[in-house]
Structure 1
Amino acid sequence: MKKYFFILIAFFALSAFTNVVPTWLNDDPHSQLGFTVTHLGISDVSGTFNDFDVKIESSKPDFSDASFELTAKASSIDTRVEARNNHLKSPDFFDVAKYPELTFKSTSLKKNGKDKYKLSGDLTLHGVTKQVTMDLTYRGTVVNPMSKANTAGFQLEGVIKRSDFNLGAGFPAPMISDEVRIKADGEFAQKK
């Protein structure tokens, strides 16, 4: 009995020095992962990925030490035109049968003004992983009156090149811009 008592004391003593980092998860109805390309050089076409999960871990209230992880289902791409969605899912573009997910894992977060950061990380898209850097704005934390959960808001903006990921190689830039503008907005509830 004495042995178990000492083990229990040791466990609690070690636990006292363990820093539990809060985890935040995206609230699906209040989060969006969007993109925009230019078609024929004269108009913008936008779309979203409708099935994605983001996890944030941060021990600081201003999220200045945050790490971000995203996983999105490539087959959830939605441009409001079914024929175009199906083409984007094909081997011409995302090849969702072969590459069902796109992922992002942050590697650094650098302050860039009040509540503004440069977020860098590894983006894996179409089987290719590249380092990308985007602009991240922390929009504040409130208590959601419906769920009573601490809820943080973020907005992410940036540009990637589809040629870096061998995405739609058969469609030159005059037809579809090489630059893809990314805009994501999200609410994140603190996991209890």
Structure 2
Amino acid sequence: MKKLLVIVFAFFSLSAFNTLNRLWTNDDAHSQLSFTVSHLGIADVTDTFNDFDATVTSSKPDFSDAIFELTAKTASIDTRVEDRDNHLKSADFFDVAKYPILNFKSTSVKKQGKNNYKLNGNLTLNGITKPVSMDLVYRGTVENPMSKKQTAGFQVTGTIKRSDFNLGSGFPAPMISDEVRIKADGEFVQ
């Protein structure tokens, strides 16, 4: 009887832990990671990373305690121009042979209003780790009618400086803006 009680207690303890710490993973078909720079000060150019994984771990339904993690393969950069892709993959910019992965891990999520948060974390890019702060919008949770899975939507926006990560140091700001605007939209399934 004592052994049975221990097994039942262990089962409920593990179930409670899984319920409290929900893991959400990005749905590739409905997620995008992009960045925008200004070229020659007269036009914006928006590019994407096509191969990335992101997770959200949270115990609260409003995600106010969430931990966001993202890993992207730098070689998956897609500018829709092959020559530009190849140049960005070179040592002039992302140096994908030396730094094949970029990472982000949140350190805090601070509520700024209804469904709006300040997302703080560490970004590792080009072998350099720096703290960054982004705006996060929680867009809600619904049951996907096709998969029948709970699906949460988020949008992250913010700006980093490419000079902070030694990206394209041979290309001055009048040619390519130092400010890089980040935008990530994602659906996450439980």
Report the TM range for the smaller structure's normalisation. Answer: over 0.9
Match of 1:80 in 2: 80
State the shift of 1:16 in Å.
3.0
* Counterpart AA for 1:174: P
Match 1:10 to one of 6, 9, 28: 6
Which residues of 2 match residues 98-113 of structure 1 at below 5 A? 98-113=98-113
Which residues of 2 match residues 1-192 of structure 1 at below 5 A? 6-7=2-3, 9-18=5-14, 19-20=17-18, 21-190=21-190
Superposed CA deviations along residues 9-33 of structure 1, whole A, max 9, x for unmatched, are 3243244345221110000010000
1:85 alignment partner, SS class: helix
- CA gap 1:96/1:8 in 2 versus in 1, 3 angstroms: farther
Number of equivalenced pairs: 186
State the shift of 1:128 in Å.
0.2
In angstroms, what is the RMSD of aligned CA positions?
1.2
d(CA) in 1 for partners of 2:2, 2:86: 62
State the shift of 1:118 in Å.
0.2
Which runs of 5 or more residues in structure 2 are unaligned?
Answer: none
* Counterpart AA for 2:38: T
2:113 alignment partner, SS class: coil
1:56 alignment partner, SS class: strand
Q: Which runs of 4+ in 1 moved over 6 A?
A: none
1:84 alignment partner, SS class: helix
d(CA) in 1 for partners of 2:158, 2:184: 9
Superposed CA deviations along residues 26-73 of structure 1, whole A, max 9, x for unmatched, are 000100000000001111011000000001011111111110100000
1:112 alignment partner, SS class: strand
Q: State the percentage of identical aligned residues.
A: 70
2:46 alignment partner, SS class: strand
TM-score by length of 2: 0.95
2:157 alignment partner, SS class: strand
